[in-house]
Structure 1
């Protein structure tokens, strides 16, 4: 690890990590300059792989530190309470956002979540991915904030591993937005710009997450599990249905297992 990065305030570390995950989305979005049409099978494989990474990261990088912090925080036999509350609130929060902001329903691919709207399918898809990018940025920021607390399961190294994992899964996410827009006839630059812009919220989420847990340390176990719950919500509502509804179920499932195994290996082997 680079010394100058280690010496930075966790908020600045998280912000830079958010920039990295955004850049990965931009790289994924840039495939519109190489291809016009979506390779559905490849996209399903990448979505399954991304879901596996996020599920593994939700436990080893977020839930495990949340449980450890609660156990060390004097909760006694009720140490499960903060992780459970935070985890459920993370999912409920995203569901509420889906209910008040119009966006694409990934399960049906043609439906719309939230209030009735005249927005175009492209705009709805952009809003859906932007909404679901926020918890990824938040999880990165919370991980860097937790790295300051001296937990065995939460360190700067584990935060970096989470950053890499989120970055890897952002590659197909960028393509999942830019390629359909390009296929609909939009110019390459427009498709790319929408794809990369959907991840700008990750920079905000990362900075906010790190700031919250460093300013109000009592919320750390709740914040860690909140991010985990939100990420699991994204996997179950968006990534897994998207990968399983195009006739590529088996390869997408194998890709999910591979993504999970990769992230688990990084967290356990290097964390």
Structure 2
């Protein structure tokens, strides 16, 4: 069993729990103030920049390298449309778990792709693990706050997030042992995830991170994207 893959995916998954801890700290241990609102929204926009860099630098380029035009168009469109349909279904159901399921929709396929890529391109797998981990922070941050506001206790929500943090390792191992010899399928999976992630980014994360008459949040998104560019250059 590849220890490095477990470490990579373990980091990517651990940030689900860390995001919940950060949300709990901000919501229950820091007094409401304009500065607090700016910090929360800037963190979310920073995460949006990270997610965008993952799409632009890793997920989409990998799909373009392996697939033809129709393959990229098909997988990307299928991901965007499927995530839209699931998002609409979850929103209409009013389920308390809707925001949590939305977060997992991109985490699981990305982790499977991480495991598949690991055997072929370990450096790319490391970069993808960093991207997944960093994007999980704002998503879990927002999900935690929504769940607690909908009636879940802090302890129960943190327990759920702790359990979900291991999904990354499980998904990565599945991808490694089942898909590492199938780069074409992996490319379809990464492109599919790209379409879905971009939908969620524009539908949920960017609107949530916006503050009226505040420009720091937009700067946070730009800095998040820069972190992804630097990561790609260094790794």
Superposition TM-score tier, normalisation by shorter sequence: 0.7 to 0.9
Residue of structure 2 aligned with 1:81, choices 50, 61, 70: 70
Tell me the equivalent position of 1:67.
64
Tell me the equivalent position of 1:75.
none
Tell me the equivalent position of 2:114.
140
Larger radius of gyration: 1
1:133: how far off? Answer: 3.1
Tell me the equivalent position of 2:17.
26
Q: Structure 1 residues 184, 263: closer, same or farther in 2, change over 3 A? A: same
CA contact (8 A) 1:22 1:202 kept: yes
Q: How many residues align?
A: 229
Mapped partners of 1:248, 1:165: distance in 2: 29
Mapped partners of 2:159, 2:113: distance in 1: 24
1:34: how far off? Answer: 7.2
Mapped partners of 1:200, 1:238: distance in 2: 24
Mapped partners of 1:247, 1:139: distance in 2: 37
Structure 1-normalised TM-score? 0.70
Q: Secondary structure at the match of 2:180?
A: helix
Tell me the equivalent position of 1:96.
85
1:53: how far off? Answer: 0.9
1:205: how far off? Answer: 3.6
Tell me the equivalent position of 1:51.
48
User: By percentage of residues, which structure has more helix?
Assistant: 2
Mapped partners of 2:142, 2:170: distance in 1: 22
Tell me the equivalent position of 2:218.
253
Q: Structure 1 residues 126, 157: closer, same or farther in 2, change over 3 A? A: same
Note the 1:167-182 alignment, pairs <5 A: 167-182=133-148
CA deviations on 1:3-60 (whole Å, 9 max, x unpaired) are xxxxx55xx7555433221212212222325750674322211111111111111122
Tell me the equivalent position of 1:270.
234
Residue of structure 2 aligned with 1:213, choices 152, 162, 179: 179
**Mind listing any 5+ residue stretches in structure 2 that lack a counterpart?**
none
